[in-house]
Amino acid sequence: FRNDPQMAQKAEAVSSIALDITELLTKLDYRATQVVPPLKIAYHSACSLQHGQKVTSEPVKLLEKAGFDVTPVPESHLCCGSAGTYNLLQPELAGTLAARKAANIESTGADAVAAGNLGCIIQIAGATDIPVMHSVELLDWASGGPCPQALEKFALPDGPQTHSPPGPTEFIISPGA
């Protein structure tokens, strides 16, 4: 937009209000309403999120707030190999990065992997047998939504247990909201 000041101004207006879902949920003071099993979650921070948008702590804090045990992944700053179209244009190098990322994740002993980027989710899931899902799936589960299908073996046997009713300032994710 360097050569079009009007478009540059419009782009700036949009980018100034655009947020990652974890930034929005943090601003809305997300709170879990359902007790989830104490799963060990390896969080993968997508390059676009940690390097591009500089969002690093919100996803982890939200997952911890929801009751998950979030474990650090060695070399978390490294790409998983998806990188937009990199996995399509450079499949061998992308595969090497995916294998390295998967080995680092597996070294944590995590029950599941959470990430906020669909490309990363697909890339990592193709390199490990550990269930990989979007962070929002876990946050939804902790807010009364369904258990992610890949984690049904971890669901509480007596069904969901709820926290005390939400207070007036609590934000709940619910279908149709």
Q: pLDDT tens digit string along 3-45?
A: 899 999 999 899 889 899 999 999 999 999 988 998 999 999 9
| Domain range summary for the chain, segments of one domain joined by + | 39-147
Measured CA to CA, the distance from residue 110 to residue 119 in angstroms comes to 20
Question: What's the N-to-C CA distance of the chain in angstroms?
Answer: 35
pLDDT at 83 over 90: no
Cα 48 to chain centroid distance, Å, stands at 12
Going 78 to 105 to 134 to 45, the CA torsion angle's sign is negative
Query: Any long-range contacts for 101-105 (C-beta under 8 Å, 24+ apart)?
Result: 101/44, 101/73, 101/75, 101/127, 102/127, 102/128, 104/73, 104/74, 104/75, 104/76, 104/78, 105/42, 105/44, 105/73, 105/130
The pLDDT, as a whole number, for residue 162 is 57
The pLDDT, as a whole number, for residue 173 is 46
pTM: 0.83
Q: Which CATH number fits domain 39-147: 3.40.50.1860, 3.30.420.40, 3.10.150.10, 1.10.3720.10?
A: 3.40.50.1860
Task: List residues bridging with 133 in a β-sheet.
Answer: 114
Q: What percent of the chain has pLDDT over 90?
A: 71
Structure tokens at 42: 């390896």
The pLDDT, as a whole number, for residue 155 is 83
Measured CA to CA, the distance from residue 156 to residue 35 in angstroms comes to 9
Measured CA to CA, the distance from residue 119 to residue 81 in angstroms comes to 9
Measured CA to CA, the distance from residue 145 to residue 75 in angstroms comes to 32
The pLDDT, as a whole number, for residue 159 is 61
Q: Which amino acid is at 34?
A: Q
Measured CA to CA, the distance from residue 172 to residue 177 in angstroms comes to 9
Q: Give pLDDT tens digits for 136-170.
A: 999 999 999 999 999 999 887 766 555 544 444 44
Residue 73's pLDDT band, with cuts at 50, 70 and 90, is very high
Mean pLDDT of 97-124: 97
Mean pLDDT of 48-65: 94
SS (H, E, C) 51-71: HHCCCCCHHHHHHHHCCCEEE
